[in-house]
Structure 1
Amino acid sequence: MTSARGITVIGVNPGHNATAALMTDGHLVALQSYERETRLKNSVCWPVDLVNRYVEQAGGYDALRGIGVTNNNAYHMMVIAQGAGQPQVMGGELGEGRPYSREAGRAYDDQALKTYTDFDLPQNRAQLPLIFQNQFGIPADKIRFFDHQMTHAYSTLPFMPEDKRNERWLVFTLDGMGDGKSGTVSLYTAGSMIVLEEIPDTYSLGLIYACVTTLLGFKAYEHEYKIMGLAPYAKGAYWKPLVAKFEELLRFDPLTGAFSGQALGMMEREAALAEIIAFQRFDNVAAALQAYVEQQVENLISAWVARTGVSHIACAGGFFMNVKANQRLTRLPGVEYFAVVPSSGDESAAIGSAVLAGLEVDPSLYHPPVKGLYLGRSYDRQEIEDAIRATGAANRYVVSQPDDMAEAIADILAAGGVVARCSGAMEFGARALGNRSILADPSRLDTVTFINQAIKSRDFWMPFAPSVLQERASDYFDMSDKASPDYMMISYNATPLAREKLIAATHQGDRTLRPQIVRADWNPEYHALISAFERRTGIGAVLNTSFNIHGEPIVMSPADAISTMDRSGLRHLVLGHLLLQKRDEA
């Protein structure tokens, strides 16, 4: 462990869900995705304002030791720079305007590969720091570009428990693709990361999942969770025969310890998957796909655990947003501990970029475990009151200042009300952790319909999740000491008590739940709120869903929160010290 002082770095993911992280002496100081400011979900760009704010917070470029950037592909980085910081969404839907024939697909893939190769020549790579200096004012000697998969791998360091940091770890990354790979397997020990295997993007489980998501009419790289949520409703007799067809396309063979199947480009993959799922019911496709990827990742990780004898595993990359696959991994024989990066898609690669930038300055730099992820924007009393005035909210709502906000919220929840909460520092990631959340009584199943129809406009089959007091966790789910459910990244089997008292926050298809345990030392205000609700109802948990309208980013500011209330059926809104209520509810 180093005693370094003053090593301040910034990590940036400028691609899918652009994000920046500020880190000082190995400690995460600030972390936020740019979509919260642009209000464009999964913004792709160089997050100009966010990076500039972090540079200023660090004390200027002279005080900054480096800016690490996810992605080492010169073509992608030039495209980002040419965008001049203007947020974009991901390109057209997979398959849009593209033929599904194998021959045309192969020609498309060959041309795409040539384009990438031509732009990725050494002279283009050497120009990148100067291009970013000219475009964004970043001193060329401050910026470093890191391999996409390695930024995922190094993002795991701040999420390895303190008491297990000296263990040997197998670090797995899996996603769609990045820098020509869809995953890696590495051995981390004593501060050293050694890559054991690289998985080419032609063998991508993530791209298979994304492509099927699109073929079912959803958005790739955004709606995969809907496929996962739908899967438990299908009947095994119908979906199980489909699994073998997916395995013919690509499988990880536990006997050979390698992937086997067709090494497919993007268009060929689309064509093959379109054939597999043709004329199949959507729920059966979802169930077969989910079972297929769970089995392949289990085979992959089991093989490496057996080969190396390493029992601690850490995982990162968009594939591991799949909470059901993560649940299965926590139960693998030979796995003693399972760590997964919160919001493990490309947004968290910004953490890994910051870690790598710091390690370039001091290879012995220690990265202590993160606690809570409440690292985004916060708003003081004056800013909240200014937002009330600027939006004219007091003309539409009753605005009050309760003596005890936790008790006031608990009263509303216990009476069956739904409360949106925008308080304290914004949490990082795709899953709200209480500070930008919509809350309700988890024992009332009718609440699900109300939230879906009046507020969230979500698909009816999607489950909600509970925030559970740390002291009550074992009452509601089968938690073990093999993982820590702090960030809604792992599903668990609900106990009989949870099936009764947390029914609205439990998946109705398979009776699992995706909990966040709430610790008093990480978020005392949220812990106090749930404790107050427990005193009224005996339930040590609340239903928690992200504070947004479907298709929009989670709210960031008081103005965002008021706008969401204006455009939805929300009736109660907490803004820090103030409570807003629709007049017929006051």
Structure 2
Amino acid sequence: MIVLGITNNDLSGACLVRDDRILSAVSEERFTRIKDDKVWPAQSISFVLSEAGISLEDVDYVAYGWNAGFTAEKHLPLYFDRIVDEVKNNPDGLPLFRKRIADEISNDKEKRAEFDKFISDNALSAYYIDHHECHALGAYVCSPFDEALTLTCDGRGDFQSLTLTHYTPNETTVLQRETSIDSLGYFYGRITHLLGYKPNRHEGKITGLAAFGDPEKLLGVMRQMINVEDGRIRAKCGDLFLPSYNGYSDTLQTLLAQEKPEDIAAAVQRHVEDMLVKVVTYHLENIGTSNLCLAGGVFGNVKLNQRLREIPNVSNVYVLPCMGDGGLALAAAVGAAYLENGTRFKNPAMTLGPSARSVSQNINLINRDYPELGYHNPSNIIETLVDALMENQVLGMFKGKMEFGPRSLCNRSIVYHAKDADVNDWLNKRMHRTEFMPFGPVTAVEQAAECYIGWSEEQVAADTMTMTYDCHPQFIEASPAVVHIDGTARPQVIRPEADGFMHKLLNAWHSRTGQSALINTSFNRHEEPIVCSSQDALAALKEGMVDLVVMSESLIVWRKNKNSFALQRFE
């Protein structure tokens, strides 16, 4: 069975699944070079089909994880009870409540119509999946667990903002749903916007900023906006809270005007953590399972994911690496395959995009279009790169297939040593970024346990940089560039079967220096998508974002006469 997954809402893209394999997946922004592009994913669809050597006529289903509609079974009891609750406890909030429902009905019509037209024009079979069911299916179907509690949480989708579902091989039971009024995604995004950042994009900056603040100071204010009551998320629509990224009352702005941004960030971070810990703990105790799966944009929050992992009854956590709405193309494709045939895709690699092309192709490109660049094929590229890192060279990794999802996992990454505590300042400036979170470390599996407290080999969430860990003191001292002010880091753990090249480089670096990590940050400028093509990578090199580009695991490229390391070694 061949399933094409498509998403065209928020970050658009496509994924192709054939039988028990995810063949490819890519986001449209990587081709258009427009961050979070919502345009119809024509190039993504063309790419995944061409990679498989098939046409649309060969596709059995086109799966879509948006706007499956309001149903009596899923939504009517939920909204009936919630409206009664609002009438009894917060009648002044009813007009705001009603506006949220009206917005929910109208918001996705244009995008759904775009998808429906594509289906009709090409005589295809559509497979509609409820938005939060799609997130949940993506997480469970791709997890290594046979049984798991799966939590979804985001701003909104198909009249919901959160679900908890218990999956076993034979049964699926939805334990809890929450309305899009009671949205933790909107709650966190509103604070993001209030602090001057773009909601639904810059929430990671708030997570990083939170470590500098006092969470207790404004926790009471946050509880007045939204809280857990008898195990349910309950927002109080009014002056302090709206289920929207827009609209801030004078009361709220006056209340927070004199507060430090870091204290506001710390309070919203702590409150979201506390609420979801309460909800998850309740259900874990009732169903007995100890595995937790996470998906939805809220779980881009790596600190939150750590808190959930640390719940006493949780033994292991899987975070779908493409956790947000941009990952719905993959989630819909694997979800449809599971619903139709029971097919699982346990712990799939995210290297699903366009390849870096061959060495000869890249050499021909450089010779033709980049006379200002030099290149060389070292006889031992691993040792050469260790030498380069020792000489403070910033490496742009452009190899293998591009990763799908928000994290660069060393195929489209910038790599540097982790010894320089000031690197977060000067390297971010080179990339025109403003960040409060330090760069993430990449560590070989053999050294991970001595770096990250509580890490164990079965914790695959750390393979894709989806969770923070408290760090051992010796690691904090040795690798200050990748440890946050609160003593945590967001690691990528490299296993040899996943990326043999980086595994060799990390172990060679460790043998030479005793250092257990290198920096891994995404290969892109601020507000631009991660590099996709050879031209994207070489343009970054020309601009001076990196010192060397490593292409296809064997070719080193640099700017002629502008790189002292290359002058000594190659020119």
TM above 0.5: yes
Residue in 1 aligned with 2:190?
Answer: 211
Q: Which blocks of at least 5 consecutive residues in structure 1 are unaligned?
A: 1-6, 76-101
Residue in 1 aligned with 2:465?
Answer: 488
Residue in 2 aligned with 1:62?
Answer: 57
User: Kindly tell me: are residues 405 and 333 of structure 1, through their superposed partners in 2, closer, same or farther at Cα, counting changes over 3 Å?
Assistant: same
Say whether residues 1:257 and 2:243 are aligned partners: no
For 1:205 and 1:491, the matched residues in 2 are separated by 20
User: Kindly tell me: are residues 268 and 39 of structure 1, through their superposed partners in 2, closer, same or farther at Cα, counting changes over 3 Å?
Assistant: closer
Out of 358, 376, 387, the residue aligned to residue 400 of structure 1 is: 376
User: Kindly tell me: are residues 47 and 584 of structure 1, through their superposed partners in 2, closer, same or farther at Cα, counting changes over 3 Å?
Assistant: same
Instruction: Check whether the contact 1:321–1:489 (CA below 8 A) recurs between aligned residues.
Output: yes
Residue in 2 aligned with 1:431?
Answer: 407
Q: Deviations over 1:113-133 (max 9, x none)?
A: 446547999xx9997775224
Q: Deviations over 1:392-437 (max 9, x none)?
A: 2xx2232212122222111101222211111111112211111111
Residue in 2 aligned with 1:282?
Answer: 261
Instruction: Check whether the contact 2:395–2:414 (CA below 8 A) recurs between aligned residues.
Output: yes
For 1:266 and 1:387, the matched residues in 2 are separated by 47
For 2:264 and 2:551, the matched residues in 1 are separated by 42
Instruction: Check whether the contact 1:8–1:25 (CA below 8 A) recurs between aligned residues.
Output: yes
Residue in 1 aligned with 2:135?
Answer: 152
Query: What amino acid is the match of 2:443?
Result: V
Out of 401, 411, 415, the residue aligned to residue 387 of structure 2 is: 411
For 2:434 and 2:104, the matched residues in 1 are separated by 38
- SS of 1:543's equivalent? strand
What TM-score, normalized to structure 2? 0.87
For 1:119 and 1:324, the matched residues in 2 are separated by 31
Instruction: For residue 22 of structure 1, report the CA deviation from its aligned partner.
Output: 1.2
Instruction: Check whether the contact 2:164–2:177 (CA below 8 A) recurs between aligned residues.
Output: yes
Say whether residues 1:471 and 2:449 are aligned partners: no
Instruction: For residue 267 of structure 1, report the CA deviation from its aligned partner.
Output: 7.5
Query: What amino acid is the match of 1:543?
Result: I
Residue in 2 aligned with 1:194?
Answer: 173
- SS of 2:423's equivalent? helix
- SS of 1:202's equivalent? coil
Query: What amino acid is the match of 2:35?
Result: K
Q: Deviations over 1:320-341 (max 9, x none)?
A: 1111111111110111221111
Q: Which blocks of at least 5 consecutive residues in structure 2 are unaligned?
A: 71-89, 567-571
- SS of 1:31's equivalent? strand
For 2:252 and 2:59, the matched residues in 1 are separated by 47
User: Kindly tell me: are residues 513 and 64 of structure 1, through their superposed partners in 2, closer, same or farther at Cα, counting changes over 3 Å?
Assistant: same
Say whether residues 1:458 and 2:433 are aligned partners: yes
Instruction: Check whether the contact 1:208–1:269 (CA below 8 A) recurs between aligned residues.
Output: no
For 1:208 and 1:133, the matched residues in 2 are separated by 35
Q: Deviations over 1:251-286 (max 9, x none)?
A: 113xx2222341544378743754553321111111
User: Kindly tell me: are residues 147 and 178 of structure 1, through their superposed partners in 2, closer, same or farther at Cα, counting changes over 3 Å?
Assistant: same
Query: What amino acid is the match of 1:342?
Result: P
Instruction: Check whether the contact 1:486–1:518 (CA below 8 A) recurs between aligned residues.
Output: yes
Superposition CA RMSD, Å: 2.7
- SS of 1:15's equivalent? coil
Out of 358, 361, 365, the residue aligned to residue 380 of structure 1 is: 358
For 1:353 and 1:152, the matched residues in 2 are separated by 8
Residue in 1 aligned with 2:494?
Answer: 518
Instruction: For residue 313 of structure 1, report the CA deviation from its aligned partner.
Output: 1.3
User: Kindly tell me: are residues 293 and 477 of structure 1, through their superposed partners in 2, closer, same or farther at Cα, counting changes over 3 Å?
Assistant: same
- SS of 1:402's equivalent? coil
Query: What amino acid is the match of 1:367?
Result: F
Out of 132, 138, 163, the residue aligned to residue 118 of structure 2 is: 132
Out of 211, 227, 245, the residue aligned to residue 221 of structure 2 is: 245
Instruction: Check whether the contact 1:20–1:50 (CA below 8 A) recurs between aligned residues.
Output: yes
User: Kindly tell me: are residues 176 and 558 of structure 1, through their superposed partners in 2, closer, same or farther at Cα, counting changes over 3 Å?
Assistant: same
For 2:128 and 2:187, the matched residues in 1 are separated by 28
Out of 11, 20, 28, the residue aligned to residue 17 of structure 1 is: 11
Query: What amino acid is the match of 2:184?
Result: L
Count of matched residue pairs:
534
Instruction: For residue 105 of structure 1, report the CA deviation from its aligned partner.
Output: 10
Q: Deviations over 1:511-562 (max 9, x none)?
A: 1110000011111111112222222212232111111111111101110001
Query: What amino acid is the match of 1:262?
Result: K
What TM-score, normalized to structure 1? 0.85
Query: What amino acid is the match of 1:60?
Result: S
